[in-house]
Amino acid sequence: MEADQKSSKDRKKKILVLTADSGFGHRSAANAIAAALAEKHGDECIVTILNPLKDRRAPIFLRDSAADYDRLIRNAPDLYRFGYNASDSEIPNFLIESLMTVSLYEIMRDMVRDLNPDAIVTTYPMYQAPLNSYFTINRYRVPFITVVTDLVTVHRMWFSPHVELCLVPTTEVKKLALSSGMAASKIHITGIPVSPAYATDKRSKAEIRKELGWDLKLPTFLAVGSRRADRLVEALNVLNHFGKPLQVVALAGKDEKLYAQLKSMDWHIPAHVYGLANNMSDLMLASDAVICKAGGLIVTESLACGMPMLLIDVIPGQEEGNRDYVVQNGAGVLAETPLQMLETVSHWMANGGKGLKEYAQNACKAGRSSSAYDAVDMIWKAALRGPRNTRGKPGSRRTWLIDLLTRHNIPLEFSKELKPKKKK
């Protein structure tokens, strides 16, 4: 008996992190959580990051959702806004959750059975319904934690009442979660998880710039591009002809066309052009300001390292709240035209960069550099508690779910090996 108890106690905790690749924020938050877990509990846990939408059994409309997301935002932003707002109400949300349950149930079932995790974290909202359905049907529950990756404007799909914890970035999102019916005890403000490096890296800007091969003293603007940031080249042209000493660091992301365009520009200032960077924290910590769209990830990272933002694009729906949060906190400016860009940079650079320093101070106040550690503290406690049986009355929801899946020919295999062992 003592040997069994020791074996159970010493076994590494298995933590499953679910994410998606529609936008960089979901994956980045998952990576930040994994990095913080490795740093704090590396010898005690095994972390697995998975994107269930890459499973060949996922419907094609879900597997292609990242590419469709890009196309819709570029070609029909008003239509995207309409769809986002129309689906953010009770009945459409219920229909979407039912569709996700039918579409992803078998994938979720097999993941839980194969990995047998002690806790599950999701940085993407569409997995909550099928996973909670699986737990309800099998009367077995793994601690399930949702990490919200939008700062302010958040779709109600994020707020499932059946998760154990919902980690939110701001007070505004906590209010939305409460208004959606989530219990206050489940909601905790941690910020969106960002790389632990934002909290632990003690190098000076000059030290990092020297390692990167940049000028050590010039004011440095980091321009972050992607397939969704249409005005980046326009903004860089303003800096390129600004007429005062500065340097530019331009990231093209996965956009090969943008990368070629940036490389071929006739630069009049020091310019460092990169494609997809795997050292984002270095680039951010070495810069003085960021030019970007109002994405949840880049905004959160900028705030975490006290970096003022020039916002040049806003995706309708979820990014509008990010824009308002940045502007209202005095951490950045919306500059949608070359003239607005020129005016902002001129004001920031005047009087020895006084304006830039003020915005940097505001960004620092609004940021949470330790967000990944705060999230991991709660995730780890949940993993220590581990899975549990939820035997009791069948309940109408369980009956309804069984009927839903049966009508769509989804096999229901009730697994006995998932039952947590009784303590001796």
Does pTM top 0.85 for this prediction? no
Confirm whether 2-194+370-407 and 197-366 share one CATH topology. Answer: yes
Burial group, residue 52, by CB count within 10 angstroms (0-12, 13-18, 19+): buried
Q: How far apart are CA 265 and CA 271, in angstroms?
A: 10
CATH 3.40.50.2000 is right for the domain spanning 197-366: yes
pLDDT in tens for each of the 424 residues of the chain? 444 444 555 689 999 999 998 767 899 999 999 999 999 999 999 999 999 999 888 887 776 555 544 554 454 455 445 444 545 556 566 677 778 888 888 999 999 999 999 999 999 998 999 999 899 888 889 999 999 998 888 888 899 989 999 999 999 999 999 999 999 999 999 999 999 999 999 999 999 999 999 999 999 999 998 766 668 888 899 999 998 899 999 998 888 888 999 999 999 999 999 988 889 999 999 999 999 989 888 999 999 999 999 999 887 777 888 999 999 999 999 998 889 999 999 999 999 899 999 999 999 999 999 999 999 999 999 999 999 887 765 566 778 778 788 887 777 776 554 444 444 4
**175 backbone dihedrals φ, ψ, rounded to 5°:** -65, -40
* Three-class secondary structure assignment of the chain: CHHHHHHHHHCCEEEEEECCCCCCHHHHHHHHHHHHHHHHHCCCEEEEEECHHHCCCCCHHHHCHHHHHHHHHHHCHHHHHHHHHHHCCHHHHHHHHHHHHHHHHHHHHHHHHHHCCCEEEECCHHHHHHHHHHHHHHCEECCEEEECCCCCCCCHHHCCCCCCEEEECCHHHHHHHHHCCCCHHHEEECCCCCCCHHHHCCCCHHHHHHHHCCCCCCCEEEEECCCCCCCHHHHHHHHHCCCCCCEEEEECCCCHHHHHHHHCCCCCCCEEEECCCCCHHHHHHCCCEEEEECCHHHHHHHHHCCCCEEEEECCCCHHHHHHHHHHHCCCEEECCCHHHHHHHHHHHHHHHHHHHHHHHHHHHHHCCCCHHHHHHHHHHHHHHHCCEECCCCCCHHHHHHHHHHHHCCCCCCCCCCCCCCCCC
Q: How far apart are CA 3 and CA 13, in angstroms?
A: 18
CA 155 to the chain's CA centroid: 14
Q: How far apart are CA 303 and CA 296, in angstroms?
A: 11
What would the two tokens of residue 280 be? 């984002």
Quick one: pLDDT at residue 387? 93
Q: How far apart are CA 175 and CA 285, in angstroms?
A: 32
Q: Where are the domains of the chain?
A: 2-194+370-407, 197-366
CA distances from 81 to 77, 84, 95, 149 (A): 6, 5, 19, 18
* C-alpha dihedral (230, 235, 236, 240), degrees to nearest 10: 150
CATH 3.40.50.2000 is right for the domain spanning 2-194+370-407: yes
CA distances from 13 to 45, 72, 147, 162, 189 (A): 4, 40, 19, 22, 25
Quick one: pLDDT at residue 296? 84
**49 backbone dihedrals φ, ψ, rounded to 5°:** -105, 125
Q: How far apart are CA 110 and CA 124, in angstroms?
A: 19
